[in-house]
Amino acid sequence: MDMQTRQQDQLIFHLTGKRQGDGLAAIDGLDLRPALLAPYRDLNGLRHDFPVVLDERDGAPEFVHSLSSLVDAMLKEVAPRGIDGERLRRHALQLEREIRQAVDAGAAGSLVELWHQAAARLGAREGETLEQVLGHAGGALPADGAVLGCSRDMPARLITHAWHAARRAKARRFQAELSRLVLKLSDILRAAYSHSRAGRQPQSLKQSVGGPHQDAFDFDALSRIVGKGVPRDELPALRRKRLEHALAELESQRFFASAYDTTAAGRECFGFEFDNCAAAARTFRERLPELAALVKAISIAELEVDGRYIEAEHDLLFDAFDENSLNADDLARFPDYLVCIPPERNDAPENANLMEMLSSGLPVKVLVQTSDLLEEASIGTGRFAFGVRSARLATTAMGLGGMFVLQSTSANLFALRAQLSRGLACRGPALFSVFAGSAQPASQLPPYLTAAAAMQSRAFPAFSYDAAAGANWAARFSLENNPQPDDDWSVETLDYCDAALQRASERCAFTFADFVLCDKRYAAHFALVPRERWNAAMVPVADWLALDERESAQRVPFLLVVDANDALQRVIVDARLMQATRRCLLLWQRLQEHGGVHDSHAERLLAREKASWAAERQAQAPAPAATLPTAAAVAAPDQAEPAAPTHSRDETWIDTARCPSCNECQLINDRMFGYDERKQAFIKDLAAGTYRQLVEAAESCQVAIIHPGAPRNPNEPGLEELLIRAEPFR
């Protein structure tokens, strides 16, 4: 087989996804993984953020720690510096690995429990003394609590734990204020009673005097003396009623666990944890009257305690006070509602109102876990939940404004713990959109690595948006800790041993296609190319994406992968997956713009400034000899607009009036597509793009209003396939 035929096989696979001949092999069952992931086969042998330990101490400065950081802190405390402490350090790290393996295998418990179990296992292998030494060292661990691996339930448990910590802090503030008001109101009532006729009765006087002195007084005589001319009740009836009612409301509130014995009256504290949006929203509304009554009681109590209650003014105000009078400051004093939606319930009817709930400003913190990124990656497919693809949920919520939004993979949650705390402590709604690696159904990687790969490949980048952080995007939006956030892809050096057993290295990008390779369901999008058939027409995926249309049509994109024996291989990628990879890159670039990276407005401004500077320079230069304009340069006089033709199959057009401005087409080519003054899409410049981009835009358009018509360039590569794809839209 000559070189040209070999390349033809590869090109055909790339364009059609079909393998022909024996020059390409299927990858099913080969246990391939991206070459950059080769060093992570034994994840438990590497110290990383997981497992984590939930700190159970009330008021602890951090709500979560990594196991590694606790072991380091313990060693700093108990291991002698230098060579003397080396043995203990080595055994402690061995024990840490033992715990990591146990948690990975499903072990659960507190750190102290798992520590002692691991010490016992090591002791059984290496001697009882070691168990005793490690058991003793465990006493110096600076924190204890449940140990969590990067498992399916970890995001919900971590966020619930952090939410409890935020709630406890709020409860402390509320209780302190409530106790003060209750005490002051009681004092006012008690003082009024002791000055009243009832308070001057012999029995009341006797109770007010300490026990040892009671026999020294004649309380009947005393009552006759001090009770003369005393009013029946010092407090006017209306005021007494108001004070007693406010006090009763404060003492019987059910929003925070109370210092007062309300359970005795059958009134238990409210719960605020839910697993669906509908129940949370309904419960919030049902409790509003009770919440309004409590806020009213607090307001009355504050005025009474300060002696500022003016009946003529405040009676009217409080008579009309109800749930419609509550404002954001009032709500911020009470617990937020926590909704952790189970991943399999994202598209359930009870969660359909998520966006509505968030945009209405309910004090709710919602965790949504995206269960399958790849199912949703292909255009026109994927399940919709919450009215959008769940992987796009965070960007959609960010567009609504007025809330806190955090998107992250589960592997990155520990690194973003400060942002988690900030989101849970914010006054308004917050959305935490998390991709849990364990939920990707056919991933060949462990959950932690799947989640980390999703972030590394830009399939699920991390970002946060805090509406309260400032007045502009720079203050509100952060791309957080994505690797190499200024670049299209994260690029690392791959060191390997070549066929001649010489050390070699090359720069290697980790792309969306690398992430897809890890999922068995998508094996058909790749074909293995034997080493003897590697050729110059094969280019790495990231480089292929940077080629212009004409160039890329002559090349085939490939990924560097390793097989089960860590031997380096190349797989080529079909056009369908490359389309999804390009789309992933476009979405990442949109996020970059939010983060101020390659800001198109700034770049346009810069270009304008440069042009005006150049024009100024030209104006200052000596004038050239006058020339007559050419015929072509003379502007044609205005002509009457031709009548709009009816749309034929071959015409390229957009049904602009139906465009809901989703922006997908401009993500593909913003020179070809633009918005009119009503922010609806139209074809700005057909010549600014290719037929392929037209077809991709038609496929991306959520309302199918882009009609690609016939190709303008009969020589555009891949036309045959493109015409088939364009057919439903013509």
Q: Which is nearer to ligand SF4, 194 or 656 (CB)?
A: 656
Q: Which is nearer to ligand SF4, 575 or 665 (CB)?
A: 665
Q: How far is the CB of 651 from ligand SF4 (least distance, A)?
A: 16
Q: How far is the CB of 681 from ligand SF4 (least distance, A)?
A: 4
Q: Which is nearer to ligand SF4, 84 or 677 (CB)?
A: 677
Q: Which is nearer to ligand SF4, 379 or 710 (CB)?
A: 379
Q: Residue 515, SS3?
A: helix
Beta bridge partners of 415: none
**Hey, what are 371's tokens?**
């269960």
Query: What is the distance between the alpha carbons of residues 525 and 577, in angstroms, rounded to a whole number?
Result: 7
Q: What is the DSSP string of 382-411?
A: S-EETTEEGGGHHHHHHHH-SSEEEEEEGG
Tokens 């720079």 locate to 474
**Hey, what are 234's tokens?**
């010092």
Q: Which is nearer to ligand SF4, 118 or 706 (CB)?
A: 706
Do 436 and 408 touch, CB atoms closer than 8 A? no
Q: How far is the CB of 48 from ligand SF4 (least distance, A)?
A: 40
Do 489 and 542 touch, CB atoms closer than 8 A? yes
Residues 329, 288, 423, 181: is their CA dihedral positive or negative? positive
Q: How far is the CB of 655 from ligand SF4 (least distance, A)?
A: 8
Query: What is the distance between the alpha carbons of residues 181 and 372, in angstroms, rounded to a whole number?
Result: 51
Residue 228 CB partners (closer than 8 Å, separation 6+): none
Closest listed residue to residue 17, CA positions, set 358, 701, 523: 523
Q: Which is nearer to ligand SF4, 217 or 384 (CB)?
A: 384
Closest listed residue to residue 158, CA positions, set 423, 400, 395, 377: 423
Q: How far is the CB of 153 from ligand SF4 (least distance, A)?
A: 37
Q: Which is nearer to ligand SF4, 110 or 663 (CB)?
A: 663
**Hey, what are 377's tokens?**
């990656």
Q: How far is the CB of 511 from ligand SF4 (least distance, A)?
A: 24
Q: Which is nearer to ligand SF4, 468 or 703 (CB)?
A: 703
Q: Which is nearer to ligand SF4, 376 or 664 (CB)?
A: 664
Q: How far is the CB of 707 from ligand SF4 (least distance, A)?
A: 10
Q: How far is the CB of 705 from ligand SF4 (least distance, A)?
A: 5
Tokens 């330990």 locate to 53
**Hey, what are 505's tokens?**
């290295």
| In 386-544, beta strands by DSSP E | 388-389, 404-409, 430-435, 463-466, 477-478, 490-497, 503-510, 526-529, 538-540
With b meaning 16 or more CB within 10 Å and e meaning fewer, what string describes 8-47? bbbbbbbbebebeeebbeebeebebbbbbbbebeebbeee
Q: What is the DSSP string of 299-324?
A: HHHHHHHTT---HHHHHHHHHT-SGG
Closest listed residue to residue 464, CA positions, set 472, 475, 449: 475
Q: Which is nearer to ligand SF4, 162 or 659 (CB)?
A: 659
Q: How far is the CB of 100 from ligand SF4 (least distance, A)?
A: 46
CA dihedral 73, 77, 78, 83 (to 10 degrees): 80
Q: Which is nearer to ligand SF4, 53 or 683 (CB)?
A: 683
Tokens 């960007």 locate to 395
Q: How far is the CB of 497 from ligand SF4 (least distance, A)?
A: 48
Q: Which is nearer to ligand SF4, 151 or 700 (CB)?
A: 700
Residue 417 CB partners (closer than 8 Å, separation 6+): 62, 63, 64, 162
Q: Which is nearer to ligand SF4, 96 or 696 (CB)?
A: 696
Closest listed residue to residue 373, CA positions, set 300, 456, 311, 307: 456
From residue 216, alpha-carbon distances to 202, 209, 211 in Å are 14, 10, 10
Residue 28 CB partners (closer than 8 Å, separation 6+): 520, 523
Q: How far is the CB of 702 from ligand SF4 (least distance, A)?
A: 5
How crowded is the C-beta side of 591, counted as CA atoms within 13 Å?
28
Q: How far is the CB of 380 from ligand SF4 (least distance, A)?
A: 12
Q: How far is the CB of 295 from ligand SF4 (least distance, A)?
A: 44
Q: Residue 545, SS3?
A: helix
Instruction: For the beta carbon of residue 157, count every other beta carbon within 10 angstroms.
Output: 15
Instruction: Give the type of residue at 428.
Output: G
Q: Which is nearer to ligand SF4, 505 or 702 (CB)?
A: 702
Q: How far is the CB of 588 from ligand SF4 (least distance, A)?
A: 18
Contact set with ligand SF4 (CB under 6 A): 654, 659-665, 681, 700-703, 705-706
Do 437 and 150 touch, CB atoms closer than 8 A? yes
Q: Which is nearer to ligand SF4, 538 or 701 (CB)?
A: 701
Q: Residue 291, SS3?
A: helix
Closest listed residue to residue 346, CA positions, set 276, 411, 394, 447: 276
Q: How far is the CB of 401 from ligand SF4 (least distance, A)?
A: 20
Total residue count of the chain as it appears in this document: 730
Q: How far is the CB of 658 from ligand SF4 (least distance, A)?
A: 8
At CA 539, angle to CA 533 and CA 542, rounded to 5? 145
Q: Which is nearer to ligand SF4, 87 or 658 (CB)?
A: 658
